[in-house]
């Protein structure tokens, strides 16, 4: 199997080409082997891409535990650069089929780096569609069943997110709280968890526990959800920098079209081949 290793702010992926969207699941059984950092290539996820009949290209992403995610913000930036660099597309602005619906990346130059701006679509705020158990508002929801009392805001960017505000992200025991919240009974499909510190209206800082992957250095859909949640809670402007352990993303929730736009870098690390069963 030929592969390319890429990352977006340290959130790293193995990129593999397949003939079709329907063929991608045949790689799913190998995800844990490939993503293992000691006995495999090592990554937060495996992304299968290729040319598509409906959109310009497709992507399907499998978390390091083998589960499939609907969408991945850092991953789609990597996919966009790969597709342009290796001839799957011949333009800088194109469409990508995902399980969360089509997404629209655009590659541009930001200083010496190649950045990708992605139209991430409209945020979903209705509890039943995220999905989260309960009825009413998606803001300031009590989170039962834990030693620590939390209230959270929930947003879906094609995948579900739980946003919790804290005074200091460095003091969050992420490996303890993350899995407890991810698998809480309020979240029927499990959930991604972001602990957020508000620096000011234009800067937010966060640490991430990703559903199916654990602690990661960044989460693109999470950064989008954080910005939406922060606007809803009156904590930020509609455009802000979201600082993650692996770097910064620029996120905008456009008031005119209600769509969220994510901008940030992606980097190719190396290419190689690996024997799989």
- pLDDT, one tens digit per residue, over 229-255 is 999 999 999 999 999 999 999 999 999
Closest CA to 190 of 69, 98, 73: 69
User: Residue 34's pLDDT is what?
Assistant: 97
Which residue ranges of the chain lie beneath pLDDT 70?
none
Peptide bond into 90 cis (omega under 30): no
Region of residue 23 (left: phi > 0; alpha: psi -120 to 50; beta: else): alpha
**pLDDT score recorded for residue 277:** 72
Q: What is the pLDDT of residue 206?
A: 98
Q: Residues with catalytic annotation?
A: 72, 219
pLDDT of residue 203: 98
- How far apart (Å, rounded) are the C-alpha atoms in residues 17 and 168? 41
CA atoms within 13 A on the CB side of 101: 10
pLDDT at 197: 98
Helix, coil or strand: residue 193 = strand
Centroid of chain to Cα 26: 22
pLDDT at residue 144, rounded to an integer = 84
Q: Report the pLDDT value the prediction gives residue 242, as an integer from 0 to 100.
A: 98
Counting Cα atoms < 13 Å in the Cβ hemisphere of 110 gives 13
Q: In a 3-state reduction of DSSP, which class is residue 231? A: helix
pLDDT score for 112? 87
**Residue 147: per-residue pLDDT:** 80
């Amino acid at each position: 199997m030929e592969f390319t290793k890429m990352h977006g702010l340290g959130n790293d992926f193995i990129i593999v080409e397949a003939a079709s969207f329907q063929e991608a699941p045949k790689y799913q059984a190998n995800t844990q082997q490939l993503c293992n950092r000691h006995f495999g290539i090592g990554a937060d996820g495996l992304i299968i891409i290729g040319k598509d009949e409906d959109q310009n290209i497709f992507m399907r992403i499998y978390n390091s535990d083998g589960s499939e995610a609907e969408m991945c913000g850092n991953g789609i930036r990597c996919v966009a650069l790969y597709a342009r660099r290796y001839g799957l597309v011949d333009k800088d602005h194109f469409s990508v089929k995902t399980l969360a619906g089509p997404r629209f990346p655009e590659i541009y130059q930001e200083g010496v780096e190649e950045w990708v701006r992605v139209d991430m679509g409209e945020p979903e705020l209705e509890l039943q569609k995220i999905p989260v158990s309960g009825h009413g508002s998606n803001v300031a929801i009590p989170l039962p069943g834990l030693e620590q009392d939390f209230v959270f805001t929930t947003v879906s960017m094609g995948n579900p997110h739980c946003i919790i505000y804290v005074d200091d992200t460095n003091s969050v025991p992420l490996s303890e709280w993350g899995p407890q919240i991810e698998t809480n009974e309020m979240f029927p499909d499990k959930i991604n968890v972001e602990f957020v510190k508000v620096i000011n209206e234009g800067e937010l800082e966060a640490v991430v526990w990703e559903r199916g992957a654990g602690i990661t250095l960044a989460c693109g859909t999470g950064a989008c959800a954080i910005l939406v949640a922060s606007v809803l809670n009156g904590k930020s402007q509609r455009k802000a920098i979201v600082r993650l352990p692996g770097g910064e993303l620029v996120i905008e929730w456009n008031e005119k079209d209600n769509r969220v736009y994510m901008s940030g870098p992606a980097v190719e690390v190396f290419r190689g081949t690996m024997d799989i069963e």
